Amino acid sequence: MYKDEKTRKLAETPIPKLLTEMSIPAIIGMLVTAVYNIVDTIFVGRIGTEAIGAVTIAFPLFMAISAIGLTFGIGSASFISRLLGEDDKKMANRVSTTSIITTFIIGIVTAAGGLYYLRPLLRLFGATDVIMPYAVNYTAIIIVGSIFTMSNMNMNNMVRAEGSAKMSMIALSTGAVLNIILDPILIFTFNMGIAGASTATVIAQAVSTVMLLAFYKSEKSVLDFKIREFNPSIVIYTEIMKIGIPTLIRQLLSSVAMTLLNNMAAVYGAAVVASVGIINRVFSFGFFVIAGFTQGFQPIAGFNFGARKIQRLKDSIKITIKRTTIFGIILFIAFFFFNEQVISFFSRDPEVIEIASAGLRLYALVLPLLGFAITINTLFQALGHGIPATILSLSRQGLFFIPAIFLLSNSFEMRGLFMAQPVADGLTALLTGLLFIYVYQEIKELEAEEKAEPEHKLNFKYEQENA
């Protein structure tokens, strides 16, 4: 049925081997990105505590920019995986081209608007008078590069959807390694300070964007980027948004929650703002790697659901949950018992080390649950189930996290700020389990239909032969 080698691989390769082949490039790509974030923070930390505070303040805005690219990327990837499973390559081409061009246009508009309202936005995100000069220098350049940030988020997801996980890894890794190389050169050698860090990021993102576009124009891609395939139709945008909107909600709520957290942390001083930023960077290391596992899982789940190969779908769910949970336990041990050593990489300020180390111990408590929650949320996206994906997105960063910030900070003051995310993650994992019962029942019903179909065909053939 499937003429292309990549689609045949998604349909026929044994699941444990396929998950490994798809996940390892994604994990490496995400790991390199996580390492870049960590190294970037280390270099910025050498400038001073205020510089780390500026990057922390800018982070919600960067998340909002990323949210737009991820909205189109994850929504398009889910749709493309299912279309390839149904062997509808023509429609998959239209979806990918439409998504790429639309994201590029939105990136231009976002860059213009972001620069115009830069200072009010930074003040909203919690920039104090001390941090504001650093935040302006850093964030203005990040906003200019939003075109590349959005395009990368979008195309990387679509490249993985067609089974080209290795290309996604190469593009991510090239950008991240280039960023790491450019950081010390621009920050210290060219004496650009914090502006050097953001300039390095934008250059790296631009290089990754060019690489991904070149891949789409090559014969290596299952899909083919052609401007004439641009088709801004209601059908395409509806399917993209059905899965993309939960991602947008999650990312925007993350941005709102981080803004709130930064503003409340600012009450306690620059050291607490810097501690929040460092913990988020460290925690993102674990989150990114687990996300790498699930990024390898998503195209497999979406394709086999579209092809109605339900046993393969079930196997992929079980193996991914097992692998991500084991990794979460390993991270828990590292972050809970060696927190001071980890934080010391980012800051030499004794106050920051003390505050951030205590906070990291709290964040580490939920790491064993994170793999299950992210895997099931990815499953909802892969199957095209927008409602449960939206519920989970609203819960982790909104319904649970934002109230937890207020309630716990009132009860435990500064310590409560670092308790909010772990509590929200724990409650989200519980809700994920309840929603998974619903979708697993649907999978069981489809499995029963799959088993009944060969029997139906056999009976039909017998009736024809004896007619």
User: What's residue 128's pLDDT?
Assistant: 83
pLDDT exceeds cutoff 70 at 460: no
Band the pLDDT of 295: cuts 50, 70, 90. Answer: confident
Q: Total structural domains in the chain?
A: 1
Amino acid identity of 390?
A: T
Q: What is the pLDDT of residues 305-359, one digit of tens each?
A: 888 888 999 999 999 999 999 999 999 999 999 999 999 988 888 999 999 999 9
Domain span holding position 47:
17-452
Higher pLDDT, 226 or 6: 226
Task: Compute the 3-state secondary structure of the chain and give helix, strand, coil in percent, each to the nearest 5.
Answer: 85, 0, 15
For the segment 67-94, the average pLDDT, to the nearest whole number, is 89
Task: Report if residue 156 sits inside a domain.
Answer: yes
Contacts of 400 (CB under 8 A, 6+ apart): 423, 424, 427, 428
Q: What is the pLDDT of residues 26-67, one digit of tens each?
A: 788 777 777 777 778 788 888 888 898 888 888 888 888 988
pLDDT exceeds cutoff 60 at 436: yes
User: What's residue 1's pLDDT?
Assistant: 55
Task: Report if residue 12 sits inside a domain.
Answer: no
Instruction: Indicate the pTM of the whole model.
Output: 0.70
Task: Report if residue 464 sits inside a domain.
Answer: no
User: What's residue 385's pLDDT?
Assistant: 82
Task: Report if residue 3 sits inside a domain.
Answer: no
pLDDT exceeds cutoff 90 at 155: yes
Q: How far apart are CA 370 and CA 235, in angstroms?
A: 34
Contacts of 370 (CB under 8 A, 6+ apart): 286, 287, 290, 324, 328, 425, 429
pLDDT exceeds cutoff 70 at 114: yes
pLDDT exceeds cutoff 90 at 270: no
Q: How far apart are CA 435 and CA 372, in angstroms?
A: 12
CA distances to 41, 80, 222, 250, 279 from 56, rounded to whole Å, are 10, 35, 39, 19, 10
Task: Report if residue 11 sits inside a domain.
Answer: no
Q: How far apart are CA 130 and CA 323, in angstroms?
A: 44
User: What's residue 4's pLDDT?
Assistant: 67
Q: What is the pLDDT of residues 184-242, one digit of tens each?
A: 999 999 999 999 999 999 999 999 999 999 998 888 888 888 888 898 999 999 999 98
User: What's residue 387's pLDDT?
Assistant: 83
**Is the Cβ–Cβ distance between 277 and 58 less than 8 Å?**
no
Task: Report if residue 4 sits inside a domain.
Answer: no
User: What's residue 454's pLDDT?
Assistant: 55
Q: How far apart are CA 265 and CA 280, in angstroms?
A: 13
Task: Report if residue 131 sits inside a domain.
Answer: yes
User: Residue 191 region, left (φ>0) first, then alpha (ψ -120 to 50), else beta?
Assistant: left
Higher pLDDT, 269 or 427: 427
What's the whole-number average pLDDT of the chain? Answer: 87
Task: Report if residue 177 sits inside a domain.
Answer: yes
Higher pLDDT, 28 or 159: 159
Query: What share of the chain in percent tops pLDDT 70?
Result: 95
